[in-house]
Structure 1
Amino acid sequence: MDVPIVMVAFGTTTNALKTYAFIDKICKERFPDHEILWAYSSRMVKDWIMVRRGIELKHPYQVLSELGEKGYKWAVVQSLHLVCGHEFYRLVEEVKQVRMRTSIGLPLLTDPEDYYAVIRMLGEGFSNLGEEAYVLVGHGTDHPVWASYLALHHLFRERIGPNIYVGVVEGSPSRDEIVDAVYRSGIKKARLIPFMLVAGTHFQEDLAGEEDSWKRALLGKGISVSVERKGLGFNPGIINLFCRHIEQAIDVIPLSPRESGEECLTRSYCIRDRKRGTGD
């Protein structure tokens, strides 16, 4: 059997399914010999979608358990998180409970090449850096990986130009920090860009809302604002970067037990650990 690929998203209560359908199409074209399945890590979102839309969303454990019952020995589990924060590590722990072997594709920003690739892709759209500030806003986290946003901010400015800022809705770099920095730069125009897979609730309320939002904060400083209304999930280059992580996860799966003569053990197999040669 070809190894199935389970795409794992956090889920959202807005129009995320359109984004996921776009991602699904690209992944099926890229991996035509593999079954693509979806799972969602948020129980709250799962319940919300079921009550309001009658759509059943499955958790990773459910999807993987069903694959095991069908006789699959291995599956790729591709995280659609942007950084290796709390949600990613909860996913790793959940996957470990399944009685089949898994190779976990890592989040979007994991190694330096991921950062450089994202900067190249998004930077191509920053055509007015002399007169406009480009403000990317992510969800944020209190996990130690919060520093990823600072790293991205630094690398954007180093490689593309000084009028690029990266902030987050929750945590640091905060809205006040970024808005003050844009104001001090003297730039009078800013473009707000959701650094989120889906431009969902955070985008609608916290970034582009008419009250207590990033947009209002910038306007309050006399800075005109335009808004990018699509999340990263509609960027083909970003999805291809996730696909590269899927390929890496597939590459570390050994020969089948029948071919290699090895017993298939129950364990989670994370590609970062494989690169280090330590296992899980």
Structure 2
Amino acid sequence: MNFRTLNTALLSCLLAMVLVIPAQAGHHAKDQATDAIVLAAFGTSYPEALNSILNIRSKVEKAFPGVPVKLAFTSSIIRDIWHERQNDAAWQKNNAGVPSDILTVKGPLATIADLQDEGYTSIAVQSLHVFAGEEFSDLTQTMLGLRSIRAIKAKSVPFKSLRLGRPALGMPGVVYPYTEDIAYATKALKADVDAAKKLDAALVYMGHGNDFYSTGIYAQFQSEMQKAYNHPIFVGCVEGYPAFDDMLVQLKASGVKKVLLKPFMIVAGDHATNDMAGDEDDAWKVMLTKAGIDVTIDLHGLGSMDAWADIYVRHLKDAKTQKHMLP
């Protein structure tokens, strides 16, 4: 075995150890004072869209009384927008309902570091992403890096335990099959289907998607929704597959002439307001209308629905009790 091969093998072994080595100290009742939770969302710059994230935080706080719950935004662009508003007194006066901690929101790494510096050594991070795509992958790598920290003395290791909760539609693995998470998510959206049926309309979701990760899970989710409710339900993505054109082909083939259009995103922020419900020629509302379809808009993010918020509470409970950092 040459040096390069040996080095690669050793690196693979180290990565495997990071994933499976249990925490260096047990998680006992006496450690409760060192517990903390971080909710990691992509974020939004729209004050009115914050309610979806804040609703999830409220649900988590009720499920884990006495445990501090911090928000972290994975988007540096979104964080910068909020930080600029710290010095804008007029903006703050016009948006008095925005919690003060949003103006100083940090990324997951800095948020975890702050908590550790304050004495919290058992930290569970819950992803508020929809699926295990680019943002969740980056969050995972951050957690793996922190989880790999070792010290000569056990007391010098910064964390007793680090746990990461999976996204709403799950992640690859055998501990929590993602198909079960899809089924759970399908049940959580019954109210959307009922609203579409009341309008005698198809239900169309705009998902975010991703250009760098497979987004086929959206198509699988669409299939499960259709089977569960025996109703025309379609999902398209801003990025990746299925794109708007892919969704439109299926929509036309179904023969429906009316749709309830909703964001399949945690918040109804920029994409939902402009790309979905805007008045530009490339907005979904406009393109559907030009295709002869009557459109009703529902500008509410998934996080505003209690049943969807409960998904993250459920995944967080799994994360806090699982043996390893990842399922």
- For the aligned pair, the TM-score class normalised by the smaller chain equals 0.7 to 0.9
- Aligned letter for 1:83? F
- Matched residue SS, 1:126: helix
Aligned equivalents of 1:130 and 1:71: distance in 2? 53
Matched, 1:171 2:231: no
Aligned equivalents of 1:121 and 1:67: distance in 2? 32
Aligned equivalents of 1:107 and 1:8: distance in 2? 10
Matched, 1:92 2:137: no
User: Structure 1 pair 61/125, CA: closer, same or farther in 2 (3 Å)?
Assistant: closer
- 1:13 is matched with 45
Aligned equivalents of 1:62 and 1:112: distance in 2? 33
- 1:219 is matched with 289
**Superposition pairs of residues 112-123 of structure 1, within 5 angstroms:** 112-123=179-190
- Matched residue SS, 2:162: strand
Aligned equivalents of 1:105 and 1:174: distance in 2? 28
Aligned equivalents of 2:240 and 2:55: distance in 1? 30
User: Structure 1 pair 160/129, CA: closer, same or farther in 2 (3 Å)?
Assistant: farther
Q: Which runs of 5+ in 2 are unaligned?
A: 1-30, 88-102, 147-157, 171-177
- Aligned letter for 1:41? T
Q: Which runs of 5+ in 1 are unaligned?
A: 254-268, 273-280
**Superposition pairs of residues 229-248 of structure 1, within 5 angstroms:** 229-248=299-318
Aligned equivalents of 1:190 and 1:28: distance in 2? 36
1:130 shift after superposition: 9.5
- 1:195 is matched with 264
User: Structure 1 pair 71/52, CA: closer, same or farther in 2 (3 Å)?
Assistant: closer
Count of residues paired in the alignment: 257
- Aligned letter for 1:240? D
Deviations 1:62-107 (A, max 9, x none): 1211222233332101010111111111111122333423100111
What TM-score results when the alignment is normalised by the length of structure 1?
0.86
Matched, 1:141 2:196: no
Q: Kindly indicate whether the alpha-carbon contact (under 8 Å) linking 2:236 and 2:247 is maintained by their aligned counterparts in 1.
A: yes
**Aligned counterpart for 1:52 among listed residues 69, 85, 93:** 85
What TM-score results when the alignment is normalised by the length of structure 2?
0.74
1:215 shift after superposition: 0.7
User: Structure 1 pair 130/161, CA: closer, same or farther in 2 (3 Å)?
Assistant: farther
Aligned equivalents of 1:224 and 1:71: distance in 2? 56
Q: Kindly indicate whether the alpha-carbon contact (under 8 Å) linking 2:51 and 2:304 is maintained by their aligned counterparts in 1.
A: no
Q: Kindly indicate whether the alpha-carbon contact (under 8 Å) linking 1:7 and 1:80 is maintained by their aligned counterparts in 2.
A: yes
1:124 shift after superposition: 3.8
Aligned equivalents of 1:45 and 1:195: distance in 2? 19
User: Structure 1 pair 69/39, CA: closer, same or farther in 2 (3 Å)?
Assistant: same
Q: Kindly indicate whether the alpha-carbon contact (under 8 Å) linking 1:126 and 1:134 is maintained by their aligned counterparts in 2.
A: yes
Q: Kindly indicate whether the alpha-carbon contact (under 8 Å) linking 2:263 and 2:300 is maintained by their aligned counterparts in 1.
A: yes
- 2:165 is matched with 105
Aligned equivalents of 2:71 and 2:57: distance in 1? 9
Aligned equivalents of 2:183 and 2:142: distance in 1? 30
CA RMSD between the two structures: 1.8
